Amino acid sequence: MRIVRSLVPLVIALALAGVASAQSAVEPLSPRETVRVAYVPISKFATLYVAADRGLFDAYGLDMEINRVASGTEAIAFLEQGQIDVGGIAIVVSVWNGWAQGLDLRVIAPGALEPFEDSPTKLMLRTDLADEIGDIADLRGRTVAVAGGPGSGGEYLAAKALERGGLTIFDVNLVNVANPDIPLSFESGAIDAAILGSPFAEQAEASGGAVPFAEDLAPGLMTVAFVGSGRFVQERPEVAQRFALALLEASRLMQGDDFLSPANLDAYLTYVPNATVESLRADTRLIFDPDQQIPVDGLADVERTHRENGRTAYETPIDLGAVVDPSFMDWALEQLGAYGE
């Protein structure tokens, strides 16, 4: 589905944007520029939704063509074909392999970060094993389920959990089970532990099948990002700068209680069709960094973990300087100043 935001006068856009835009003296582009974006409709790309729905892109002379896609793989294909400029995607093994083979994409802005505490995603242990398995090291040889299989985000989180007990994914029997099937797998005794998030972790615990065993596995981790095509970042830097600036301003309209403001809720519901106000209020709050810095250290750890687990098609570490371009968000930060200043 394609969503094209209507154009509104600059004065109205600034009023919608609030204080954040008033802090910036950056002029809108003239003539206006079109930016084509493809995104997977999940809440982790909420800065995009707020920037579009509250007139921030428009205020900088950007006409947005925003398209929903079923997967990051589809977005990457559009980026490679030159059909879009920016993709909202998950950074998974296939992306790392693509970069190793010369995929011309750059990470230009972060998506949401995992909560620093009380993350809804945790390592769950089958309830009847709670007395037998006292710590993570006792999972050696046990069956651990993750959704997505080799190289998935679930496998990465399993690896981080097992590290706490001095284990690797090769010290357990790692199996691929879809998230909705994991609670029943606990009840049947088919699995001993699993990486599970909301609402399935709560379901498994409520049924008596599993209990939380390890939590907050990757605080502050960036699992999704906005990536720009090489052509976009190299040939249209002023456009990319304003795109980043709008995302930065959006993140500042989403801090604290403002995250669930009526204007922001409208934006989330516009771009995530399966969301409801009730689900948004009930979900554990994701982190949207008000300075929108790209957490390179965490990204490097994801790459290292998958590579050392043999999930990548290469062995030499990826040069993150070649795939991460923080210059656009750094420029945006120079315009607004650090958050709270």
Equal fold, 2-113+221-336 vs 122-214: yes
Give the pLDDT confidence score for residue 198 in this predicted structure: 79
Taking CA atoms, 324 is separated from 37, 100, 109, 233, 248, in Å, by 18, 13, 9, 11, 17
Give the pLDDT confidence score for residue 15 in this predicted structure: 40
- What number of residues does the chain have? 341
Give the pLDDT confidence score for residue 139 in this predicted structure: 98
Give the span between the Cα atoms of 106 and 103, in whole angstroms: 9
AA letter at 102: G
Topology classification of domain 2-113+221-336: D-Maltodextrin-Binding Protein; domain 2 (3.40.190)
Give the pLDDT confidence score for residue 23 in this predicted structure: 52
Topology classification of domain 122-214: D-Maltodextrin-Binding Protein; domain 2 (3.40.190)
Per-residue model confidence as pLDDT tens for the chain (341 residues): 444 443 333 333 434 444 444 456 899 999 999 999 999 998 899 999 999 999 999 999 999 999 999 888 899 999 999 999 999 998 989 999 999 999 999 999 999 998 888 888 999 999 999 999 999 999 999 999 998 888 888 899 999 999 999 999 999 999 999 988 999 999 999 999 999 987 889 899 999 999 999 999 999 999 899 999 999 999 999 999 999 999 999 999 999 999 999 999 999 999 988 788 888 887 777 899 999 999 999 999 999 999 999 999 999 999 999 999 999 999 999 999 999 88
Going from N- to C-terminal start, the domains of the chain cover 2-113+221-336, 122-214
Tell me the pTM.
Answer: 0.85
Taking CA atoms, 326 is separated from 108, 244, 277, 294, 295, in Å, by 6, 10, 33, 7, 10
